[in-house]
């Protein structure tokens, strides 16, 4: 089958198309393979919310749940085993992509979100999940909380590829890039090889607009400012990426075989029906980026997407948008703080929901 033309053009412009979803049914039915074959999909991201929907909505997990129940495995261990199995199968399916394009063909698995404020536990869990899935084309997702940053450095130093998640502000994004470079430097200092180590930094987009739009409404600001800050914030993140990954510090690592940590645009499903359903794709086209999309958003772009202003030509306008939002009285530092707390809490809630549903299933299957 031929690739969808619009998504193929996106790939040619340097944007890796990833699917923000996974389920056993999607893997077994051939749906994921068909997205690779026909929609340019070269990676998969998961999170606790996605797994909660997959496991509660399907009987494909029944046999495994029964086997875990009769062995009286703890709920936490059962959860790890079930999610690792799906991620391992998706890694195997995407292995040919990973061979052809290192850094892509990857599947992301998140550390338990309840550990987001515990550096040691996050690093330990990252190591355990890396061992459990045991595939070179895996990414371990670690949140960009203050406690998460040293765990990112530690994991990279241990040769674990990391998808850093829940990045909202430029300031935190710079700290994430620093954590990655520090991890590579530490690995080199310990005599380790940088071969095969990859990383992406997941910069969230639509949630920024949702929070800022709410505050703009409250302050009675000019309505034309709405729906612009998320993209502008991400465009400025790419400017910061260009700066860091052309620095002397980076070039020294690149000479030793290091791969760039690519910016990944996350939360790209459009929440406000008044906005174009493809804006978080068309306005964020830049070389060396990843865009992970819910299937609905991907299909919308495949149907009627078109390229907007290239990110590298948008920096001045983006800076002006952010300044206007500040001038309208929006406290951006507070916005980013709230978004990070909410982001962690949403995943904790999903994880708790997932834990409860697996507990019930284990009791039913025992």
Does the active-site annotation cover 141?
yes
CB 40 within 8 A of CB 8: yes
104-to-92, 99, 221, 239, 312 alpha-carbon distances in Å: 13, 9, 42, 22, 23
CB within 8 Å of 166: residues ≥ 6 apart: 143, 144, 145, 202, 204, 340, 343, 344
Give the separation between CA 280 and CA 275, rounded to whole angstroms. 10
The radius of gyration of the chain from alpha carbons, rounded to an integer in Å, stands at 20
How does strand 15-19 pair with strand 41-44? parallel
Displacement of CA 334 from its chain's centroid (Å)? 23
Give the separation between CA 187 and CA 222, rounded to whole angstroms. 50
Q: Which residues pair with 265 in a beta bridge?
A: 203, 291
Neighbours of 18 (CB within 10 A): 26
- Catalytically annotated residue among 6, 141, 226, 228: 141
N-terminal to C-terminal alpha carbon distance within the chain:
44
Report the catalytic residues.
141
């Amino acid at each position: 089958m031929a690739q969808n033309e619009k998504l193929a053009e996106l790939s040619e412009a340097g944007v890796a198309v990833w699917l923000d979803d996974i389920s056993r049914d999607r893997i077994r039915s051939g749906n994921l393979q068909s997205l690779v074959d026909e929609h340019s999909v070269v990676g998969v991201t998961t999170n606790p919310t996605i797994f909660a929907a997959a496991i509660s909505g399907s009987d494909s997990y029944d046999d495994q749940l029964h086997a875990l129940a009769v062995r009286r495995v703890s709920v936490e261990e059962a959860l790890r085993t079930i999610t690792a199995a799906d991620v391992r199968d998706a890694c195997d399916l995407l292995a040919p992509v990973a061979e052809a394009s290192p850094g892509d063909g990857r599947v992301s698995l998140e550390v338990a979100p309840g550990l987001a404020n515990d550096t040691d536990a996050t690093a330990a869990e990252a190591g355990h999940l890396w061992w459990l899935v045991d595939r070179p084309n895996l990414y371990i997702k670690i949140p960009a909380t203050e406690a998460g940053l040293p765990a990112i450095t530690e994991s990279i130093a241990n040769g674990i590829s990391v998808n850093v998640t829940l990045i909202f502000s430029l300031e935190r994004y710079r700290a994430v890039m620093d954590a990655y470079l520090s991890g590579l430097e530490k690995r080199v200092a310990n005599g380790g090889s940088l071969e095969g180590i990859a990383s992406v930094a997941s910069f969230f987009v639509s949630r920024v607009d949702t929070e800022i739009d709410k505050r703009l409404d409250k302050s009675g600001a000019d309505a034309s400012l709405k729906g612009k800050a998320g993209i502008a914030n991400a465009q400025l993140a790419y400017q910061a990426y260009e700066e860091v990954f052309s620095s002397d510090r980076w070039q020294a690592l690149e000479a030793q075989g290091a791969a760039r940590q690519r910016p990944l645009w996350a939360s790209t499903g459009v929440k406000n029906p008044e906005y174009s359903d493809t804006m978080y794709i068309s306005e964020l086209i830049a070389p060396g980026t990843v865009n992970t999309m819910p299937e609905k958003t991907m299909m919308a772009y495949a149907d009627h997407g078109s390229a907007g202003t290239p990110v590298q030509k948008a920096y001045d306008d983006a800076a002006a948008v952010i300044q206007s939002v500040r001038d309208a009285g929006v406290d951006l530092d507070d916005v980013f703080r709230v978004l990070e707390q909410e982001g962690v809490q949403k995943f904790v809630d999903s994880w708790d929901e997932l834990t409860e549903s697996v507990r019930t299933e284990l009791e039913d299957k025992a």
